[in-house]
Structure 1
Amino acid sequence: MRQPTLRRAVLSLVALLGVLPILAGLWQSLRASFGILPALGATTLSPAPWGQLMQLPGLTTSLALTLTTGLGATLIAFVLVVALCAARADRAPVPPRLLAPFLAAPHAAMAIGLAFLIAPSGWIARALAQVLGWSTPPLWITVNDPHGFALILGLVIKEVPFLLLVTLSALSQIPLRQSLITGRALGYGAGALWLKLVLPQIWPLIRLPLMVVLAYALSNVDMALILGPATPPTLAVLLARLFSDPDTAKLLPASAGAILQALLVLASFAALWATARLTGWAGRIWLRKGTRGPHSALGPLPALTATALLALGALSMAALLVWSLAWRWPFPRLAPESWSLSAWDTSTAPLTTTLLLALTTTLLSTLLAVAWLEGEDRARRRTPWAEALIYLPLLVPQISFLYGLNILFLRIGISGGMGAVIWAQTLFVFPYVMLTLSAPWRALDPRLTRTAAALGAGPWRQLIAVKLPALLRPLLTAAAIGVAVSVAQYLPTLFMGAGRIATLTTEAVTLASGSDRRITGATATLQAALPLLAYLIAFALPALVHRNRRALNGGHTAWA
């Protein structure tokens, strides 16, 4: 295949299977929001669905909760990551490998574990009971509190590791050491040094991941169902209930709400852009004034806060495992009185389906990412506008286009099957695989392929014999992230599978509202174990494959 041909083929495939379905889903939702849904006999253009949406009880509160939880969690996570990196500017604040379990844990599993931890009968209350002498759980409203504090905490715990890893990656791509030396030589304090010299350099590199976090925080359903307020819920949960309502007339106002959700996220992006521009303008004025800022360090608060969040995350995952093995666990005991494996004696169908979906979508996404990057190499140029299309599914709220896409799939006749779910999940797995693989692929030393070409290797042999072996660790890491993203998918599986495809995530979210914590813990533990296993393989397999390629030279390893 000639160089431009491969690139055009991959671009066409991404547009056909990725961008066009999203646009088609948005178009279907937009039509239904104005009364056009022929399947229900609605063929007259009308603003009535918007009127019905505005008359829904608690809509104003749902909008307020969506904004406060989404914007609040994103702001807290971003400020904490920047403060932590600034406070520990000379070294990595957290070893990247330590973040792997938190990145691997699906959102729903983390939310269920956190609910077990902070509930009135959870581990924290049990620990306090030992000191305060409680014999019954306190009358606290911690999970599903009306202000969304539990949801904000859960989002911050889940997104801080992701933003921290992205920031560490960005710092490795700028002359950080030179910037720190220059700033300190000029007398800048730690905070001013980061705000004036470092943050402006990494902002273009972390802006897109921050937008992804913001879009998810504003439109997530699984974590909001488990931790968020119930009556009224956040907007995304309210819309999910409307779409699932037996009364099909609710589909029209639900579609109007889906468009409203998309507009809300778009407005938040605009606010982020405006804030960045305003901050840049103010920063230039501050820079010209020459003020150095305080000379003292930022103190231990950022590190202590990050440590506390990671500890809460680790305890949340541990709570899942303990509850899955508990048989009798009365309050206020810290540990179960008796143990049992009975909760694990459940159907393996969700596990099999989850594993099949994860392997299939990850394989498809990895092959597509390799084809995209190889086509880019052969064409010897990048197309930023085309690359931006890859990340469209991460920036558009799922609830705003998935139901419209499901209507399209119903017309085609593929809705409710594995093929539709694989297609829908790949929409979200592929961008994360590309996001992970693109930087190490482009950083590969071009002299390797030039040497192979000089020895007579063609483009395909260069790819198979040189590039892929050299990039084995990044490839497996990207695949592990793909598995984690696939396992975590809730709405795509629920909508595109028409409720007939049961995975560990759909089962865990459903069980979270029940009363049997043991079965819920077992399902969520299994859900978290699959991505963690993928990460362990990604770390162990390259070391095993390259075990004979390590050569000690002056006490240092020749292979990274």
Structure 2
Amino acid sequence: MTIRQKRIVDVPTLLVIALLGGPVLAGLAGTALPAFGYLPVLGHETVSLEPMRRLFETPGLARSAALSFSTGLAASLASLAIVLVFTAGWSGTRTFRRLARFLSPLLSVPHAAAAIGLAFLIAPSGFLVRLASPWATGWTRPPDVLILNDPFGVAMTLGLVAKEVPFLFLMTLAALNRPHIHDTYRAGASLGYGRLATFFKLILPQIYPLIRLPMLAVIAYATSVVDVAEILGPATPSPLAPRLVGWMNDPDLSRRLMASAGALLQLAVTTAALLAYLGLERLTVRLLRSRLSSGHRHAHDTSGRLAGLFVMLAVIAAMGLSLVLLGLWSLARSWWFPAALPQHLDVMRFADMAVMGAPALWATLALAVSAAGVATAVTLWLLEARDAAGRTTSARLKALVFLPLLLPQIGFLFGLQMLFLHAGLTGTFAAVLLAHLVFVLPYAVLALSDPWARLDPRYGKAAASLGASRARIFWRIRLPLLLRPVLVTFAVAAAVSVGQYLPTLMIGAGRIVTVTTESVALASGGSRQAAALYALLQLLIPLGGFVLAALVPALVHRNRVAMRLERG
């Protein structure tokens, strides 16, 4: 490789390292130092264990940590099990393809919006209870049953499962898009294996390495989630992450030291969950190794296949009903229990509240478009530079890209907030945009790397043989051929930006208000209409992005039959 080629590939790589590794490492340092009593900006200039002592004297701390560990790990394991059993039983069938069309759009639903909609569905005064009341239950008032915010975090776990199943499903779908996978299915069937046995004995060992990192990212997020925990999680005490946010925003500034110590504890909880999962992974392989090689065909697996289909349908139905309820509640002027549908709908009330929410919507749109644009451009630059230098995405680079997703947000955002505060950047648009990029860029790289790798290199070689430059090949050949994946990447990145609650709350310092921060704040208030409206506004930007990703390529390539056939 020439010096010029090395420079070409190094510039975007260094930019990615700066955008991802820089804020994470600086944030971890800014969290660790106050955790040990060193925070000169507040007059604490000596290292001390006092923040740790105060932290471990806090009532209910062990319970909060246990809730974060158990709910996050349980939700992640349940999501993976649902996806794998459904995929094993139905991959390659018409049912699988139809349900995949429903699951893909659900990935764009922000966690807070999904949690609010699920709360409207399963609450004691929610839609499911209304459907059975009073004719089946005899209830004319909501039952005194603790469903939301239950002390064991069951509702929170269900909310996380409903959101993580679409993500893990799409990661599994991408992993299945490998050569010879369908040949393996046919070989298993010809040997008399059932669909479940073929998948778990022959397919899963091939694709699981591609699913492991996304699964670890899901565990890291689920064990440190804030917005879903505040809406659906227990309150006496809360899981660890919401308590840390409360301490960080406490008027007593000395609590920030204790919050930093708690952030280190959150890192330990998430690490313990990741290690527990890896331990379960090894234990499962050891226990099932003999069964996997036993030669048993398990040809009669209808009950298992139907069970996987039923659970997946339940997840899709719950998410779909939740989104419908958001629309109904945002239009409802009155909806008294036990009526199954609103007594009165008021479009003007919806319009008035939409006008009130317009500033938050515009701020969300500006952040989403900016973050998605920068992330998509940097990803294209990175992939093009590495392709020009004859390199593929290395394991080290993949690890760096996943680093922000494998760490709890709260573990380094505390430190990043203090650094921005010291630099006078807290509450600025640029600071919030940088914080969003830390989490948006990994998804952009993840979404675009596979379509880029699958692009036939012969197009570029043919153009180069005719004297076309690298820039001309990129703009006139690669980009048109990859227009749809690029737009999908932009839409995914925008959806991720819209869903960023904690970075906006902490780095924005209340000056940057988005529909996500407002919807979480309103979810615990008294107005369901306002909470539903803001949750609904969260869906507009991701929905618009995916609609454009579908329509623009169709319009641009409407006269190019070969491209239409390739997309079909």
Normalising to structure 1: TM-score of the pair?
A: 0.96
Is 1:290 equivalent to 2:295 in the alignment?
A: yes
Q: Equivalent residue for 1:51?
A: 53
Decide which of 405, 409, 420 is 2:416's aligned counterpart. 405
Deviations 1:285-331 (A, max 9, x none): 33444343453332411111111111110111111111110101111
Counterpart residue identity of residue 358, structure 1:
A
Decide which of 482, 493, 496 is 2:493's aligned counterpart. 482
Decide which of 38, 41, 54 is 1:39's aligned counterpart. 41
Residues 289 and 551 of structure 1: CA distance in aligned 2, closer, same or farther (over 3 Å): closer
User: Where does structure 1 lack aligned partners over 5 or more consecutive residues?
Assistant: none
C-alpha displacement at 1:344, in angstroms?
Answer: 3.5
Counterpart residue identity of residue 235, structure 1:
L
Q: Equivalent residue for 1:322?
A: 328
Aligned pairs for 1:174-189 within 5 A: 174-189=179-194
Matched residues in 2 for 1:328 and 1:84: separation? 40
Q: Equivalent residue for 1:460?
A: 471
Decide which of 259, 269, 287 is 2:264's aligned counterpart. 259
Is 1:306 equivalent to 2:312 in the alignment?
A: yes
Is 1:332 equivalent to 2:371 in the alignment?
A: no
Residues 558 and 11 of structure 1: CA distance in aligned 2, closer, same or farther (over 3 Å): closer
Q: Equivalent residue for 2:125?
A: 121
Q: Equivalent residue for 2:367?
A: 357
Is 1:502 equivalent to 2:510 in the alignment?
A: no
Matched residues in 1 for 2:286 and 2:456: separation? 38
Decide which of 175, 184, 189 is 1:170's aligned counterpart. 175
Q: Equivalent residue for 1:268?
A: 273
Matched residues in 1 for 2:92 and 2:508: separation? 49
Is 1:246 equivalent to 2:251 in the alignment?
A: yes
Decide which of 106, 111, 115 is 1:102's aligned counterpart. 106
Is 1:204 equivalent to 2:214 in the alignment?
A: no
C-alpha displacement at 1:415, in angstroms?
Answer: 1.5
Deviations 1:238-280 (A, max 9, x none): 1111111111111111111101111222222222223333333
Q: Secondary structure in 1 aligned to 2:540? A: helix
Q: Equivalent residue for 2:547?
A: 536
C-alpha displacement at 1:234, in angstroms?
Answer: 0.6
Q: Bigger CA drift: 126-135 or 246-255?
A: 126-135
Deviations 1:85-105 (A, max 9, x none): 111134262533322331111
Counterpart residue identity of residue 79, structure 1:
A
Decide which of 124, 138, 143 is 1:138's aligned counterpart. 143
Matched residues in 1 for 2:70 and 2:342: separation? 37
Q: Bigger CA drift: 398-407 or 16-25?
A: 16-25
Residues 296 and 114 of structure 1: CA distance in aligned 2, closer, same or farther (over 3 Å): closer
Query: How many aligned residue pairs are there?
Result: 557
Runs of at least 4 residues of structure 1 off by over 4 A? none
Q: Secondary structure in 2 aligned to 1:248? A: coil
Q: Equivalent residue for 2:451?
A: 440
Q: Secondary structure in 1 aligned to 2:234? A: coil
Q: Bigger CA drift: 315-324 or 35-44?
A: 35-44
User: Where does structure 2 lack aligned partners over 5 or more consecutive residues?
Assistant: none
- The Cα RMSD (Å) is 1.7
Q: Bigger CA drift: 114-123 or 358-367?
A: 114-123
Matched residues in 1 for 2:215 and 2:497: separation? 20
Q: Bigger CA drift: 367-376 or 529-538?
A: 529-538
Q: Secondary structure in 2 aligned to 1:31? A: helix
Counterpart residue identity of residue 141, structure 1:
L
Deviations 1:418-464 (A, max 9, x none): 01000000111111011000000011000010011011111111111
Residues 71 and 299 of structure 1: CA distance in aligned 2, closer, same or farther (over 3 Å): same
C-alpha displacement at 1:159, in angstroms?
Answer: 0.9
Counterpart residue identity of residue 358, structure 2:
T
**Contact 1:53/1:253 (<8 A) preserved:** yes
**Contact 2:85/2:305 (<8 A) preserved:** no
C-alpha displacement at 1:107, in angstroms?
Answer: 0.5
Matched residues in 2 for 1:475 and 1:130: separation? 51
Q: Secondary structure in 1 aligned to 2:282? A: helix
**Contact 2:192/2:299 (<8 A) preserved:** no
Is 1:375 equivalent to 2:385 in the alignment?
A: yes
Identity of aligned residues (%): 45
Residues 171 and 403 of structure 1: CA distance in aligned 2, closer, same or farther (over 3 Å): same
C-alpha displacement at 1:17, in angstroms?
Answer: 2.4
Residues 329 and 242 of structure 1: CA distance in aligned 2, closer, same or farther (over 3 Å): same
Is 1:28 equivalent to 2:39 in the alignment?
A: no
Q: Equivalent residue for 1:230?
A: 235
Q: Secondary structure in 1 aligned to 2:223? A: helix
Is 1:557 equivalent to 2:558 in the alignment?
A: no
Q: Secondary structure in 2 aligned to 1:327? A: strand
**Contact 1:344/1:522 (<8 A) preserved:** no
Counterpart residue identity of residue 557, structure 1:
L
Deviations 1:47-88 (A, max 9, x none): 221121111111111112112210111111101111101111
Matched residues in 1 for 2:192 and 2:49: separation? 61
**Contact 1:324/1:344 (<8 A) preserved:** no
Residues 174 and 61 of structure 1: CA distance in aligned 2, closer, same or farther (over 3 Å): farther
Q: Bigger CA drift: 189-198 or 397-406?
A: 189-198
Decide which of 183, 193, 200 is 2:198's aligned counterpart. 193
Q: Bigger CA drift: 276-285 or 33-42?
A: 276-285
Q: Secondary structure in 2 aligned to 1:219? A: coil
